Amino acid sequence: MGALSLISGEYALYGNGKVAALVCDDQVFVKLTAAGRAYVDDCVEAPACPGGKALLADR
């Protein structure tokens, strides 16, 4: 079951109790996994915030 929470003015989307994606500054960032990389041929990796971990970005 999924859930949504507001964290510091941004949103975190949860799946199975773990953060799966973030919505920051009107941009969606999805947690990178090996399966996700195999599914998406050409992905853009970027941190959701300065100094953050690289995530799959929608732009």
Determine the structural domain holding residue 37 and report its residue range. Answer: 2-57
Q: How many CB atoms lie within 10 A of CB 44?
A: 11
Q: Chain-wide mean pLDDT for the chain? A: 81
What's the pLDDT score for residue 44? 84
Q: Domain count of the chain?
A: 1
- Inform me whether the pLDDT recorded for 1 exceeds 60: no
- Inform me whether the pLDDT recorded for 14 exceeds 70: yes
What's the pLDDT score for residue 7? 67
By three-state DSSP, how is residue 27 classified? strand
> DSSP assignment, residue 52?
P
What's the pLDDT score for residue 51? 87
- Inform me whether the pLDDT recorded for 47 exceeds 80: yes
